Structure 1
Amino acid sequence: MMPVGDPFTARGEGVLRPQARARPEAGLTVDAHGVITDWSAEAERLFGYAPSDVLGRAAAALLAHPSDALRPAGPDGWGPDRETVEDAAAPLRVRCRDGHWEACSLRIRPTLNGPGAGARWSVTLTPVVRAGRELDGAVLEALFTQSPIGLCLFDDDLRLRRYNSAAEGMKGIFTPRSLGRRARDVWAASNADELEELLTKVRDTGVPLLGFDKHGYPPGDPDHEHYFATSAFRLEDSSGRVGVAVTGVDITARRRAEQRFALLAEASGRIGTTLDVVRTAQELTEVVVPGFCDAAVVDMLDPVLRGDEPDADAARASLRRAGVTVNQALGVEVGDPHLDLGTTSSIPPSDARCLATMDPVLRRVVEPDSSGLGLSGDLGTGNGLFGLIVPLRARGSTLGLATFYRFGTPRTFEEGDFVTAREVTSRAAVCIDNARRYTREHVVARALRRQLLPSRFPPQGAMEIAHSVVTEGTSGDWFDAIPLPGARLALVVGTVVGSGVYAAAAMGRLRAAIHTLAELDLGPDEVLARVDDLVTHITEERGEVLGVRPRPAPGSVAGATCAYIVYDPVTGHLSVASAGHPVPLITYPDGTVEPADLPSGVALGTGDSPFGTADMGLPPHSGIALYTPGLLAGAGAGAGIEDEGTTAGLEELKERLVASRDDPVEDACRATADALLHRGSRHDAVLLLARTHVFDEDQVVTWDLPSDPAVVATVRALVERQLSAWSLDGKVFPTQLVASELVTNAIRHAEGPIKLRLLRDQMLTCEVADGSAAAPRMRHARAGDEDGRGLFLTAQVTQRWGTRYLETGKIIWAEQPLDAESGLGDLGASGLADLDV
């Protein structure tokens, strides 16, 4: 850098320009003997010698090295052998008065000799360095007048000394008033302090600065932020004084494009991480604050939040706030209830215009109101609040509005921001619509699942039952309790692969199939075997229709698991079977917890292995726990290994079952499920707890009967006496009818031994057992037939009847509700005589 007083500090109309200078030439005259006879003022200024110092001295004495010669002697003595010589060889080095030397080019020509004078020569010395500086001056002139790159020079105090014409056009940053100011004061509304710190390092270390972003709001365009790619390097003159040269190029358009692409890339990665409408709306506001705007809100149409299709006339719908983010670094406090999530409001006229035209709308908010962003505190020295409203549209439907706010700085939204806002909201709208569609499917699946699962357990006295369903959505976990003849109860828990509507439908098919098979009074292993056959058939049928190889798929019946148990409260007998499902846990009254002793088997529809059955006797007040795998998965959340997590969960489940065995079954079920899922597991789970009862002796009565028709009258008497003891006198006639008919059929068509049993629980059950495997068939007797009416009458006076097969025969049973009137109607006791044999 050149000092202030050097030839390059001249000013012209506020712009620093280099000052032109004549080419320096030192002239002297030498006689024929090489003695200096004349010394010009230019030679004095160039070499520092006064005329008195050099006149009369040999010219060769001025050379840096005495061996150097000005020129070989000519014919007349000193001088060249021709009249004029331009030295084109290496320059001569002339020693200056201050000790340094100057390299000079040489030009010699003879001079006219006066009368009596000898030969004289005119010598012109031109410093070659000075000649080079003329080129430097031309380069500087071009840099300060023609260069398209802004250039400014700072002295060693980092005060502005010069700037070129390109810098003068940089949005009013450099003006004549800027001269003499420090770097941080030239453009205060920017990151000036950071730049001055970097320029100080350049000045002190000499390490150049490359590609620094100087950005802010320039005086020539205070409403828009500008970026300049700034580089700097140190300058040093021959005297050792230093300064810093700084260049700048306006890269605002490029930076804004980069910021736009960066914002869009971030939006692609951060918006739509979940299939939740509200969470996706919140992600949109979090992405744009603070990089794009100072605050953002998203208002969704009410139907969208429910998962429904948005209204065709969106302008008439109400809005519900689904996302809010404010840049807290600005020190603005949120104090308006309209910022609360879930706030409902009507669509203001400005927003209605936005929905009508589907174009972004920019408006200035003078005061916060219900239609804008409510903020408490100063909005920034009267600069106001600017809101850019953009409709959220996807697949031709309007889902809501996104509003971006800028405040506290002298800036508003410009055309490029409109494009950015459109693209960000467009991507967010697609994610929101995906979440809306998922929400709709989720709502439908949950409704379907609620309809397919039992809402309450049927009244029965075999067990106390409680269930806990923990679900984050629409899993395929299900359960059921099915009353069986003879006061027995079947419990079933299962899991279908996948979730959603298909899983709910598959669950419904399985539950209906097992319920139907349970009504046939088959054993647990037979029920699972027939369900397995059904699932295999359905899977093969589906594969034939779709033309694909049958395999378990999410939401399909194939691959489902199931555990099925049957408990008899009369004998305390339990039968258990499992198809690929965790086996039930048995809690004994002494606190012992053990899994049922049977293999879990294979999943339904995946193999042809037979299903095993475990039979055991349980003491009264034993506990039975059936569950789905998700209940144990929560305990392994921190283990990182599924098997270890399942093992830990199983041990914790056993501990909880023991600890809560004396609590009410409802409380024990709820506490156990909460304890196993307390780690924030997102798994769906079902827990079904049951505690067994054994009927008292006065609830069951059994008679062994001979195979003699005469015993039918005795049967009527036995029934009447027992029902009177149970205070069920209103059930005497229908029960006598049922018992006599069933005993008569056993005597006529079956083999002995014959047993009659009455059970009193929620239902009054009459059972007749015999040694034959042939089942009775109800007939519709014609007017002239003498028999065939017995089972028809039995069906009329009971709620249901059927046959249960044993290894030694069968049992014909019939049930009557205890709190219902007799179904005999006009058929009195005299009618029983017609049924006698």
Structure 2
Amino acid sequence: MTPGSDDPLDAGHSAGLVVDARGTILRCTPAAESLLRRSAQDLHGRRVRDLLAVPARWRTVLEQRDGPVWEGRAELAPDGGGEVEFRVLPLVDGEQAEQAREFLVLGVPRVLVSQWRQGHAFMRELFLQDRIGLAVLDNELRLVRTNTHLLPYSGVPGDLYGVRMGDFLREEGARVIDARLREVLATGIPLVGLDVEVHTRVDPGPGRTMALSAFRLQGAKGLVMGVTALFVDVTEERLTRSRLDLLHRATTVLSTNLSAEETTRDLVDVLVPALADVAVVDVAEAVFTHEQPAPELHHDHALRRTAVAGATPGTGPGASPGGLATGAVVAVDTGGVLSGRVWSDGAEEGVEPPDALGSAHGMSAWLRARGSLLGRIRVGRGGDRPPFTGDDLALLEQIASRAALVVDNARRYARERNAAVGLQRSLLPSSSTDTPTVHTASVYLPTDTATGVSGDWFDVIPLSSARVALVVGDVVGHGLQATATMARLRTAVRTLADLDLEPDELLTHLDDLVSQFAIDVDVDGGQATRPPGTEIAFGSFGATCLYMTYDPVTRRCLVASAGHPPPALVAPDGGVAYVDLSPGPPLGVGGLPFEPVEVEVADGSVLALYTDGLIERGHADLDEGMAAFRHALSAALVPGRPLEEVGPEVVRELVPGPLSDDVTLLLASVRGVPAHDSAAWTFAADPSVVAEARASVLAQLSRWGLDELAFTTELVASELVTNAIRYAGGPVGLRLIRAASLICEVSDRSGTQPRMRRAHATEEGGRGLFLIAQLTDRWGSRYTRSGKTIWTEQALPPRR
């Protein structure tokens, strides 16, 4: 037996028979008894040929002989060992082998020999392959055997026998490897795929990432002999994976919102430090002005620095005059080159101009989408990091292409939303108004949904006789259709208000109008798309509305609601209460009446009209939202505080976050007309009282110091009282009001509205209303519960 040999056909590992020259078994080993499944006594004297499965093949077995020592194969009987490989050795020395009288036959099952040969081939090829570094280390972690490509990098010694990892690797990498290998030696638990950064001591490069695997080596009796370690270079794989991960994270942050500024800030936070030490994104100025960016083929572009990460703004060598501060607008010339660029201080070519990032290495990529140039991304690394590669540039260009689409989508969204919100705001009145009787302030916040607009509206409408109408409404739904419906309703309300209709009557007309909207759509084309027998949904044109009129002379409000929340009334002492009204159905339902409610309002009181977006936010129960609104109003309405400050504070308190519905709040502080600024008389239906009416008017104007208006007002009162007596009968009411203008009213019990006409030259009458229209600034008539009132207005003379 060869010392240290593991050959299964060596005498120490196989079954042995001693046979004579005729093939008769003389002696055998215990292993032979086990293999042949016969005892030594049974085997003694047998011929070897009798052990074959087919004894007639004995000659074939002998033909395998090729010398004194020879090997072959034979198939024994199934119950006697099966297929085996054997070796024949003559039991004589040297030249006497040919005359040997006894032979030693060693046999092993063929399967064991095949496994042994495969194992040897595997080990030989494993140490010859060059894709995996293989090392066998002893118990002291000294290298015993390695393949030729353990670490194919500069700085690895040629002869590694007896060398430790720390002798040629930097300390940090060697310490990690040794610690993990000692764990494997101590526990016997294999180590699989641990990433380790390794740098040789002499290699100035960035090092490599190795996947380390290891398992313990044990002898036949469990004696620990060392550890085998496998090193797989996964540097490129990990770089590719990190680039894909970076691309995924960048794509994720680019899809979070439609704000170019926020998106680019999130993007640079992803790029630093994963890809670079500093990152800057410049976005075309046209994106922020909602204009079309310049075509990408143009050379000159104005870019606004939008996001910076990894650098102190305004500092650093090579920084532009504005530094790296965001908000600066810079002029950029593409030079007709729209591909990405890589530059490095140590490179002979590709050096970035002086307005680079002040970094040792850098690269840039343009933001291009739909034929327009939308900006650029620039990144830089310090000298302690490796230069950028072509793969890094390809990654940056992929990120830039995604960012460009997001920025362009944000620009288009902002432009459309800005147009929609601008349209809606143009359809609403001024945020604040001030008249002698009412001061208003409003807050309107459009929803933050994709459309950005919906159907909330409010209005402050001057009425006759110093009265004011306050309106707030909410169209069901969002988007431009809701805004268009809102515009039609607001126009309709103003038109109906000009007729001086009472709130319940006005809402009835408005309800008919909304119902007509649905009918018009059905006639114009809705029938073609709706299944037969179905009705148009209420949400297509449904709306709620609250209409309120305030009379500063009587200090009373008349209010009616079409499915809208009740207004809040803040008394001068700070108490807040909701007007107790019974809301009618929303507009468009039809068939039900609207019930008006009259309330008295003291001077200095504040009326608060609002939409449901203010009280539904964060409150599952509407009563909770209304209670919160009442509390916020009470806390914010401090005496002497401008309404323009109160409204925003109340809205911030109730709606702290993003909006899912429009929020509208209209605050109106009322001021009644003092008693000494109005005068009223009642006359019988007698022509003789006209003179008395004229005298009363002249006396009152004199007391007010309005003698300049005496002639005109006397003429107006005389004409109107005369007409009332002649055509309507008595009693006739006459009232003068001094407010923002001088108002003259004549009331009678007739329901016939006056009509101005042009009288012919031969007619003696018919010129009264024509004269009134020429002498006054405005005139008109309105129905009352007891008849009608004709009114006129004249501008007050300037105070001296």
What are the ranges of 5 or more consecutive residues in structure 2 without an aligned counterpart?
Answer: 13-17, 21-25, 34-38, 48-61, 77-85, 531-535
Partner of 1:99: none
Q: CA deviation at 1:490?
A: 0.9
**Equivalences for residues 395-474 of structure 1 within 5 A:** 395-455=370-430, 457=432, 459-470=434-445
TM superposition shift of 1:623: 2.9
Contact 1:223 1:410 (C-alpha < 8 Å) held by counterparts? no
1:674, distance to aligned residue in structure 2 (A):
1.4
Question: What's the counterpart of residue 80 of structure 2?
Answer: none
Quote the Cα distance in structure 2 between the aligned partners of 1:172 and 1:608.
93
Match of 2:473 in 1: 494
Is the 8 Å Cα contact of residues 758 and 766 (structure 2) preserved in structure 1? yes
**Partner Cα separation in structure 1 for residue 591 and residue 178 of structure 2:** 82
**Pairs aligned (count):** 728
Q: Give the secondary-structure state (helix, strand or coil) at the position aligned to 2:711.
A: helix
Match of 1:359 among 339, 349, 364: 339
- The reply on whether 1:526 has 2:501 as its aligned counterpart is no
Structure 2 distance, partners of 1:323, 1:113, is 93
2:630 to 651, 654, 657: 654
Residue type matched to 1:338 in 2? G
Q: Is the 8 A contact 1:202 1:244 kept in 2?
A: yes
Please state if 1:326 is matched with 2:301.
no
Whichever residue aligns with residue 416 of structure 1, its letter is D
Q: CA deviation at 1:451?
A: 2.8
How far residue 728 of structure 1 moved from its aligned partner, in angstroms, is 0.5
2:431/2:441 contact within 8 Å kept: no
SS in 1 for 2:629: helix
> Which residue number in structure 2 is paired with residue 798 of structure 1?
776
1:399 alignment partner AA: L
Q: Does 1:664 align with 2:648?
A: no
Higher mean alpha-carbon deviation, 128-137 vs 772-781, is at 128-137
Matched with 2:658 is: 682
Q: Structure 1: which amino acid aligns with 2:328?
A: T
Deviations, residues 667-703 of structure 1 (Å, cap 9, x unaligned): 5x62464155247323353322223333322111111
Instruction: Indicate how the Cα distance of structure 1 residues 411 and 495 shifts in structure 2: closer, same or farther if over 3 A, else same.
Output: same
Tell me the SS of whatever aligns to 1:290: helix
1:198 alignment partner in structure 2 = 180
Alignment of 1:77-96 (within 5 A): none
Inter-CA distance 776–135: structure 2 relative to 1 (3 Å threshold): closer
1:110 positional shift: 7.0
Tell me if the contact between 1:272 and 1:283 (Cα under 8 Å) persists in the aligned partners: no
Residue 23 (structure 1) shift: 9.4
Query: 1:787 pairs with 742, 765, 783, which one?
Result: 765
Equivalent-residue separation in structure 1 for 2:739 and 2:464 (angstroms): 11
Give the equivalent residue in structure 1 for 2:269: 286
Q: Deviations over 1:37-74 (max 9, x none)?
A: xxxxxxxxxxxxxxxxxxxxx99999999x96898469
What amino acid sits opposite 1:326 in the alignment? G
Q: Is the 8 A contact 1:394 1:426 kept in 2?
A: yes
Give, in angstroms, the shift of residue 810 of structure 1.
0.6
2:247–2:399 contact (8 Å) kept in structure 1: yes
Q: 1:813 to 1:271 in 2, by over 3 A?
A: same
Change (3 A) 1:113 1:791: closer
Question: Structure 2 CA distance, aligned partners of 1:184 and 1:495?
Answer: 77
Q: Aligned to 1:615, what secondary structure does the other structure show?
A: strand
Report the alpha carbon displacement of residue 485 of structure 1 after superposing the two structures with TM. Answer: 0.9
Deviation, structure 1 residue 655: 2.8
Q: Does 1:739 align with 2:739?
A: no
Pairwise CA distance, 1:625: 1.4
Q: Following superposition of structure 1 onto structure 2, how do residues 166-205 of structure 1 map, counting pairs within 5 Å? A: 166-167=149-150, 170-172=152-154, 174-176=156-158, 180-183=162-165, 186-188=168-170, 193-205=175-187
Q: Deviations over 1:774-831 (max 9, x none)?
A: 111010122222222211111111121111101221111111111379xxxxxxxxxx
Cα pair distance change 1:74/1:702, threshold 3 Å: closer
Matched residue SS, 1:167: coil
In 2, the alpha carbon distance for the partners of 1:189 and 1:415 equals: 31
2:561 equivalent to 1:583: no
2:325 corresponding residue in structure 1? 340
Q: Displacement of 1:113 after TM fit? A: 13
2:194 is matched with: 212
Hey, what's the Cα distance between the residues in 1 that align with 2:435 and 2:751? 28
* Pairwise CA distance, 1:365: 5.4
Deviations 1:104-123, CA, capped at 9 Å, x for gaps: 97644578999xxxx98566
- Quote the sequence identity (%): 36
The root-mean-square deviation of aligned C-alpha atoms, in Å, is 4.4
Q: Deviations over 1:128-152 (max 9, x none)?
A: 7999977755443322224653322
Change (3 A) 1:784 1:210: same
Query: How far apart are 1:539 and its partner, in Å?
Result: 4.0
TM-score normalised by L of structure 2: 0.79
Offset, 1:434 = 1.2
Matches within 5 A, 1:473-552: 475-476=453-454, 477-497=456-476, 504-542=483-521, 544-545=524-525, 548=529, 550-551=536-537
User: Judging changes above 3 Å, is the alpha-carbon distance between structure 1 residues 112 and 146 closer, same or farther for their aligned structure 2 residues?
Assistant: closer
598-607 or 216-225, which moves further after superposition?
216-225
* Structure-to-structure mapping, 1:307-318, within 5 angstroms: 307-312=290-295, 315-318=299-302
1:162 to 124, 129, 145: 145
How far has the Cα of 1:322 moved from its partner? 1.1
User: Where do 1:65-76 residues align within 5 Å?
Assistant: 72=44
1:263 is displaced (CA, Å) by: 3.1
Return the alpha-carbon distance in structure 2 between the equivalents of residues 606 and 263 of structure 1.
Answer: 56
The one-letter code matched in structure 1 to 2:620 is: D
Partner of 1:783: helix, strand, or coil?
A: coil
CA contact (8 A) 1:763 1:818 kept: yes
Question: Aligned ranges for residues 677-756 of structure 1 at < 5 Å?
Answer: 677-678=652-653, 680-683=656-659, 684-756=662-734
1:728 partner letter: L
Contact 1:111–1:121 (Cα < 8 Å) also in 2: no
> Does the 8 Å contact 1:163/1:174 carry over to 2?
no
Equivalent-residue separation in structure 2 for 1:397 and 1:241 (angstroms)? 69
**Gap change, CA 1:176 and 1:281, over 3 Å in 2:** same
- Cα distance 1:647–1:385, how it changes in 2: closer, same or farther (>3 A)? farther
Structure 1 pair 222–69 and aligned structure 2 pair: CA distance change class (3 A): farther
With structure 1 as the length reference, what TM-score do the two structures score?
A: 0.76
1:153 Cα offset (Å): 2.1
Other structure's SS at 1:792 match: helix
Output the amino acid matched with 2:276: C
Q: CA deviation at 1:518?
A: 0.9
Q: Does 2:610 correspond to 1:627?
A: yes
CA change 1:364–1:70 in 2 (3 A) is farther
Matched with 1:94 is: none
- In the alignment, structure 1 segments of 5+ residues that lack a partner are 1-5, 9-19, 27-31, 35-57, 76-81, 92-103, 375-383, 637-641, 822-837
Aligned partner of residue 339 in structure 1, secondary structure: coil
Residue identity opposite 1:176 in structure 2: G
Task: Specify which of 620, 628, 639 is matched with residue 643 of structure 1.
Answer: 620
Which amino acid counterpart does residue 268 of structure 2 have in structure 1? T
Counterpart contact for 2:453–2:480, Cα < 8 Å: no
TM superposition shift of 1:484: 1.0
- Residue of structure 2 in register with 1:571 after alignment: 554
Structure 1 residue 275 displacement after superposition: 1.6
* Alpha-carbon distance in 2 for matches of 1:165, 1:85: 37
Is the contact made by 1:463 and 1:691 (CA closer than 8 Å) also made in structure 2? yes
Structure 2 counterpart of 1:654, which letter? R
Give 1:5-154 correspondences, 5 Å limit.
72=44, 107-108=89-90, 137-146=120-129, 148-154=131-137
CA distance in 2, matches of 1:112, 1:373: 85
Q: Is the 8 A contact 1:190 1:214 kept in 2?
A: no
Closer, same or farther in 2 for the Cα pair 1:288/1:738, shift >3 Å? same
Q: Does 1:611 align with 2:594?
A: yes
Where in structure 2 are the equivalents of 1:267-282 lying within 5 Å? 267-282=250-265
Q: Deviations over 1:3-36 (max 9, x none)?
A: xxx999xxxxxxxxxxx9999789xxxxx999xx
